[in-house]
Amino acid sequence: MKRRSLLKAGLLSIPFLSLNPLGLLANPKKMKPMSKEDFGKGFKWGVATAAYQIEGAWNEDGKGVSIWDTFSQKKKNIKDNTNGNEACDFYHKYAEDIKMVKSLNMDVFRFSVSWSRILPEGKGKINQNGIDFYHKVIDTCLAEGLEPWLTCYHWDLPQALEDEGGWTNREIIKWFANFVEILAKEYGEKVKNWMVFNEPMAFIGAGYMAGIHAPGYVSLGKFMPAVHYANLAMAEGGRTLRKIVRNGKIGSTWSCTAVEPKNPNAKKHVLAAKKADAMFNRVFIEPALGMGYPFDDLPIISRLKKYIEPGDDELIKFDFDFIGLQNYFRTVAKFSLWPPIMWVNVVPGKKLVEDKEDLTEMGWEVNPEGIYKVLKQFGAYGKEIIVTENGVAYEDVLDNGEIHDFKRIKFFEDYLKQVLKAKNEGVNITGYFIWTFMDNFEWAEGYHPRFGIVHNDFETQKRTIKDSGNWFKSFLND
Ligand code: BGC
């Protein structure tokens, strides 16, 4: 990497900052490095993962087929033509992986349950092997002194349910509640922290409108009912957990992005930003909070009104205990004739940076202030917030068996400073989970973007803690 880029990434300044005792003496307040204590006692630190991205064992021990199994087997859907058949083989390596999470001084292991491992057909017959597997995962966490945080749904819908319309079929509210009830009854005595969904805007938007994720539809006609039924299912899932899990803490997670207009002085771009904010940030949380859909700021979603039945205004509400906030990039929105109907487009990451080296492997711009802004924005809803995902993919180079991922460390330092700033200004933030524990199957991108603080060799399944993992280990050392 060029010296200029290193300087820009702040890497050349890190050793100087932390090793310069004169600097510390000269201005102790300014130079004091951020510490775990700054976030307060009881603040939870964790790593987040998702079933399809790590488990593998896609057809073992009675597991049914999910939409991601189907989608990833089709040529061209995944950039590097891979799939999650084996992924990180967490299904067999869970015990050593969970021990490694603990060795990094984490408090929390966040994982999701594969619906088709529990119910191969999505409903009906239960697969006891699937039930047993998650008991083992949970028991290992508890034995290690890690809190298991369970996400009920992280995008891998059973294919049998998709064959009946998936999220576009109103019946999914019942199917999902039935699945959640099984999870709550099985694991509710051991697991106290629950997330109903992972990022509904991502799986409904990318799956039914953009077509880049499973099940791969590009259809406004499917997107509209799917939005409404997912919102109803999320609230029903929350109620089901509340009924069954004693002293449970029940949340869900939302993808959040700080939206700005391309030009704040151009009315058309300001209007575009308002629409983008409503679409990306508000459609899936405000109905649950009793605020209804943002029809005024996003007229296009009036098209879902025809799917609203009497009583839905109440059924869609659920009083979540916390908001799981997930942030990766900001969104700069502009008026555009393409795509039509919404007339909003997003300025690509590469146009937002001066140097291509500043882009992440996903092509995203790094924008720490963005997490501060969304924390303030979502903080205004008045609920407890946990950052349930934040992280970055950079190309990692194995150097004599080590990975010196300084840019990733810099990313975490810069983002954490902004989280702390929002917290110090009164936003009720009580935890921060890293995306992600180890390099894994990154959906339509395949295995190339590496988000882990632990490196995985996908040929040998050998895990190697990266420098960023060790950075967290010492940062979190009591
Ligand atoms: C998802 C993860 C994904 C990450 C990085 C999040 O939106 O929850 O599953 O790997 O983004 O793209």
What are 395-425's pLDDT values in tens digits? 999 999 999 999 999 999 999 999 999 999 9
Could you tell me if the CB of 405 is within 6 A of ligand 1?
no
Could you tell me if the CB of 389 is within 6 A of ligand 1?
yes
Could you tell me if the CB of 50 is within 6 A of ligand 1?
yes
For residues 79 and 419, the answer to whether their CB atoms sit within 8 Å is: no
What are 61-112's pLDDT values in tens digits? 999 999 999 999 999 999 999 999 999 999 999 999 999 999 999 999 999 9
Greatest Cα pair distance, the chain, in angstroms, is 69
What are 307-324's pLDDT values in tens digits? 999 999 999 999 999 999
Q: Is the pLDDT of residue 207 over 90?
A: yes
User: Closest ligand 1 atom to the C-alpha of 443?
Assistant: 10
Q: Could you tell me the two tokens for 260?
A: 């700005």
Handedness of CA 265, 271, 274, 275 (dihedral sign): negative
Phi, psi (rounded to 5 degrees) for 160: -60, -35
Could you tell me if the CB of 255 is within 6 A of ligand 1?
yes
Q: Is the pLDDT of residue 156 over 80?
A: yes
Instruction: Tell me the domain boundaries of the chain.
Output: 3-23+46-475
Ligand 1 midpoint to CA 436 (Å): 9
- Which top CATH class is 3-23+46-475? alpha beta
Q: Is the pLDDT of residue 297 over 50?
A: yes
Give the pLDDT of residue 382: 98
Lowest pLDDT segment from 37-41, 137-141, 335-339 = 335-339
The three state secondary structure string of 332-352 is EEEECCCCCCCCEEECCHHHC
Give the pLDDT of residue 375: 99
Could you tell me if the CB of 442 is within 6 A of ligand 1?
yes
Classify residue 315 by its DSSP letter: H
Give the pLDDT of residue 274: 98
Q: Which of 435, 445, 447, 453 to mutate to test the pocket of ligand 1 (most atoms within 8 A of CB)?
A: 435
Count other C-beta atoms under 10 Å from residue 134's C-beta.
24
Q: How many Å apart are CA 67 and CA 88, to the nearest integer?
A: 19
For residues 78 and 465, the answer to whether their CB atoms sit within 8 Å is: no
Q: Which residues belong to the active site?
A: 199, 389
The more confident residue out of 168 and 6 is: 168
Ligand 1 midpoint to CA 174 (Å): 26
Q: Which of the four pLDDT bands, split at 50, 70 and 90, describes residue 8? A: very low
Q: Which of the four pLDDT bands, split at 50, 70 and 90, describes residue 341? A: confident
Q: Does the pTM of the predicted model rise above 0.85?
A: yes
Q: How many Å apart are CA 279 and CA 344, to the nearest integer?
A: 11
Give the pLDDT of residue 32: 79
Q: Could you tell me the two tokens for 277?
A: 């904010």
